Structure 1
Amino acid sequence: MTTFLAVALVTLFSVTALLALIRLYRGPSLIDRVVAADMLLATMVGAVGAEAAVNHHATTLPVLVALSMLGFVGTVSMVRFAVRTDEEA
């Protein structure tokens, strides 16, 4: 059962990361790329959280907190940059 669960999780997270990378590469605007990068980071947080849940340990909690903070700060800073760029145009 855990082998099937691990294979399913790896498959789903891999497809999600691949789609986010495609949008990051092809995104026509800066906002599309910011959303794709945020989605990629959210996928990483989900993968680390799933790994912690499957292996029954909580030692990766600081990694989850750091990744979440990185995603929040990065998204807010990029949105502020995009808004500032739109006001100047």
Structure 2
Amino acid sequence: MNTVWTIAAVLLTAAAGITVYRLLAGPGTLDRLVALDTFVAVTMCAIGTWAAYSLDTTVTYSLTALALISFVGSVSVARFRVRDDADAGEER
């Protein structure tokens, strides 16, 4: 069973690494916002995996807090963001 936990940890670490790269290299603010949302989702999956591995349910409260903060932050950034320079010429 330890093999399953090791594989899950490796895959979550790889997903976090790829997401951090996209967060740093994203060409626009919305790309970075999607990467940040993905990073929070990967973090929530890691916390859930840790809760299942350690059989400790006290860490699940942080899942609720992360979900609420992530949702409010994403909606705020999407609503109040300023257009990027590349998007300034486009009319929608």
Q: Does TM, normalized by the shorter one, top 0.5?
A: yes
Q: Residue 54 of structure 1 aligns with which residue? A: 53
5+ long unaligned stretches in structure 1: none
**TM-score normalised by the chain length of structure 1:** 0.87
Q: CA deviation at 1:50?
A: 0.8
5+ long unaligned stretches in structure 2: none
Q: CA deviation at 1:79?
A: 0.4
Aligned length: 84
52-61 or 7-16, which moves further after superposition?
52-61
Q: Residue 69 of structure 1 aligns with which residue? A: 68
Q: Residue 80 of structure 1 aligns with which residue? A: 79
**TM-score normalised by the chain length of structure 2:** 0.84
Q: Residue 4 of structure 2 aligns with which residue? A: 5
Inter-partner Cα distance in structure 1 for 2:13 and 2:32: 19
Inter-partner Cα distance in structure 2 for 1:14 and 1:5: 14
Once superposed, what is the RMSD of the aligned Cα atoms?
1.2
Q: CA deviation at 1:57?
A: 2.3
What percent identity do the matched residue pairs reach?
Answer: 35
